[in-house]
Each structure stands twice: as structure tokens, then as C-alpha cells.
Structure 1
Amino acid sequence: MIKQLLKEPLPRAEALQDEQWQAISEAFDRLRRAVDADDRPLIVRSAKELVEGVARVILVSYDGRTVPDQDSYDKVLGAAHKVIEHAISLGMPGNHPLRQIPESAKKMAGQLRELRNAFGTGHGRSIVHEISDEVVEASVHACLLWVRWALSRLHTALRGALSPLVRDLSESAFYGGDLASRLENLRERVPESN
């Protein structure tokens, strides 16, 4: 089943830079290879790394924020989720299902750190843990649920972000009202000062 899930390509936000997309693609390919080889510790680790890589790409592509390597997984995931969750609607209450569903996906992705610590590669082991099908499936499902949602929301978030707009103003041509639309999206996201 999880091999089928990995056949579907990840969504790519229009304004995402090639080097950022390459980092995501390499992490996704690593997860695919681990699944193909049934390397269970590597599957668990690769699922966590894909989520963390996507989170870091979200932050750098949205506002140029680079995240120090020593920042915790939960901190990076939370910051990235905050950027893209606001792309839903600024006025939507926190208890609305369109906020609660992504929040649940983030909580699932957050558990990947614990699964990786218990079962994944990257830590020396004094004993070998058996990694059940359930652990593997939970890791891949949790990863892909948040990653696919986050990357599809990133497109909307980047349309209202200042850093990509500034870059595009110097490097791109705008057609058919695209600049006006992007400026309007930016205006909607910047709080008004009194």
C-alpha cells in the first residue's frame, strides 16, 4: 500500500526555487528507495527527514528564514505549520474543521521524531528493535499526510509573501494582472497599523 502512495508525485508550489525543490525531491526519493528496499529503520528516519526538510524549505522560501541545525524538530515543524496555516484564512476561528484537520496532521508528523528515536537509523543501538508493519505504515502515512498538505498550501502562502514577490520583481515578468493579484494577497496578509 505505501509503495502506491509514493508513486504519486509531491505537489510543487509555483514560486519554489529549483534548489529548494531539489532538496525536497532528494528526501522523497530517499524515502522511496528505503521503502523499495524494505529498510525499515531507514524508512522511519527518511519519513521524519522529509517532513523536516519540507518545513525548512517552507520557512526559507516564505521569508528567507534559515533555521539553525540545532533547532528542534518540533520547533521547525511548528514554525512552518504556522506560516502555511494562515494561508487558509486569517479570519477563520481556531476550532474550525479546516484548521483542526491540518493541526491533526501536524500532530501526527510531530510523532515521527519519537518513532525515529525509537526505531530509526541515526542512533547507535545496543539491541535491534523489531519494526512492525504498523510502525512503517504509520511513519509513511504521517509524513505524506502533512507533507502533501503543506506543499499544496505553500503555493497560496507564497502568493502572499514579501520575499518571493521581491525576488520575482527583479527576475520575472508579470502577465494578466498577476502582479496586482500578488500585491492584493500581500496586502491581505500584512496587518494594518493604526
Structure 2
Amino acid sequence: MPGVRSVGRLGVRGSVLLLCDMQEKFRPNIVHFTDVVSNSARLLQVCRILGVPPLVTEQYPHGLGPSVPELGLGDLRPFPKTAFSMLGAPGLLEALGAAGGQEGVTRALLCGIETQACIACTTYDLLEKGIEVHIVADAVSSRSQVDRLFALSRLRQSGAFLTTVEGAILQLVQDAAHPRFKEIQKLLVHPSPDTGLLSFFH
């Protein structure tokens, strides 16, 4: 209904998964890097099962290296960029349009680094284009936990929804009767590791 504020319900139709700049050179400096990559990889697996298209960027890969192998990109081709926003990567806007099919992309799940930089700039660009943004809080990080948590707070003020990997997965599946649920359930056996988000709510 016109004028009704979105409650942020996730669904497969109209959704895209954006994976931002999880590259080798960032590995030693990003808080909870290993866990953030692992969480992002799990969400990528589920999105592949459900048919949610993924798009990947790399920040100046010539100097900062490729995406880390444990992300599990397979044959996905990352879009190189120098802009902070993922939407500044040449060709990504066109790929985003194609990912949504005839109905277009209406919501984006966002993972990666850094929260106060590339995640923030991408979120603002998406929101200004009318695309609902769901930031997967346990799949984004920064060099500083302070920057990470303040950025999440700021982005929530701007209208982005915050979720977790498991929360996003279950919202996408929606029903235990889903024909692929048993397969996806195996990816949820172990809870996501603690990445220091509880302090965000204190």
C-alpha cells in the first residue's frame, strides 16, 4: 500500500547479495576478519541454493590483492574499483540492473569491509536509488571496532536494516517446508561466532 513504511521483510524475489572487498591485504588489520569472511561465505552458499544473485567487488586489487579464497567465490567475477561505494565499480550498476530481472532489484543484502567506508557509501547510494538495504552485521567489519559500531548506528539512522547471517537466511527461506530447507539447515548447525556486537546494544 502506498505510504506504508517497509518493515524490512526479506525474500528471494528482488534480492541481491553484495560482497564488498574481502581481500588478502585486509586480513591482518580487520577486526574479526576470519569470522566475517566465514559468515559471508555461508550466506553466499545459501543465496546460491535459493537463487539470490551475488555481486562482488575488490578495492584496487592490483595493490590490495584478490578476494580471499575461503569466501568461496568460485566462478564469480569480482568488479574492481577505486571508489568507496560498490556502485562506483565500472559495470556493477548494469549488473545490478540485470540481477533483478524484469522486476528489478528491490533489496540488497550487504556484507564486507570496511563498515564506515565502503559499506556506508554503498548503503547511501542504494538507499538513494530506492533499494532497501539489509546490512548483515556479523558479516561486516572495520579496522576499529569503534568505527564499526558507530557506522552501524549511523547507517541504521539512515534507514538501513540490520540483521545477522542466520536471521537473513531464515527470512529468505521463510518456511521449514521449503524444498531446500534440509540442505540449508545443515549450514545452520553451528551458530555464528561472536564478533563483538553485543556492545552495540549496551
TM-score, structure 2 as length reference: 0.30
Q: Which has the higher helix share?
A: 1
Q: Which has the higher strand share?
A: 2
Higher relative contact order (CA 8 A, sep 6+): 1
Q: Which has the larger radius of gyration?
A: 1
